[in-house]
Amino acid sequence: MTDFSLIETLRWQPGDGFIRWRLHLARLSRSARRLGFPQPVGAAAKLDEAVAEATGPLRIRLTFDPQGKIEVTSAPFVPLPPETVWSVRIAKIRLDSADRLLHVKTTRRAVYETARAEYAPAEADEVILLNERGEVCEGTITSVFLDDGTGILRTPPISCGLLAGVLRTELICGRKARVGRLTLADLDAGTLYVGNSLRGLIRANLLRN
């Protein structure tokens, strides 16, 4: 397993620094340990170096390969307006819940790229993937959350075949979300959100094919 790298995508804000950086670095370290990579001891320093002269919000992408090499790139980041609603659709391709690599964020993204390519950008802002049992897993770049009226968001368990997203982890630890399996019928019965650490929670409208 040497043909991919681990990834972390973070947001940096003037005055606030890296958003959820402790959770990002904890996930990177946990993933490295799980896959037999060396520990990313220089990651924090590399991140600080990347923003040393920054004056505006940035999207920071960190990759970490099996030999311990860390690379960091940055680009300007423009937040979505608070009233944004994304149109989302369901992918035809399915995830294999037995694939343990789905639990870590890596550069091996063929299944997500295939799902995204099923729809033109004008047809969908995000595409949600199901597993072989038809259970909701995640979006191509987001975790999935459902407001089912209980006051706590519901998000699929890792065992369905999905990434332990940093925003997802924060919401679960803060008791703002709980783990629970989701079906397409559930999505039709509640209020749908997608989100990641870069952009936060985004209201979503599920469009049927």
Kindly report, as residue ranges, where domains of CATH 3.30.470.10 are found in the chain: 6-76
Residue 23: pLDDT above 70? yes
3-state secondary structure at position 13: strand
pLDDT of residue 2: 65
Alpha-carbon separation of residue 60 from 13, 71, 82 (angstroms): 11, 10, 22
pLDDT class for 114, splitting at 50, 70, 90? very high
6-76 has which CATH code? 3.30.470.10
For residue range 141-176, what is the model confidence (pLDDT) as tens digits? Answer: 999 999 999 999 999 999 999 999 999 999 999 999
Model's pTM, two decimal places?
0.94
pLDDT of residue 208: 85
Q: Please tell me the CATH superfamily of domain 85-206, with its number.
A: D-amino Acid Aminotransferase, subunit A, domain 2 (3.20.10.10)
- pLDDT above 70 covers a percentage of the chain that reads 99
For residue range 115-133, what is the model confidence (pLDDT) as tens digits? Answer: 999 999 999 999 999 999 9
pLDDT class for 3, splitting at 50, 70, 90? confident
Nearest to 143 by CA among 87, 188, 199: 199
Nearest to 90 by CA among 141, 134, 129, 143: 129
Kindly report, as residue ranges, where domains of CATH 3.20.10.10 are found in the chain: 85-206
For residue 146, give the amino acid letter: L
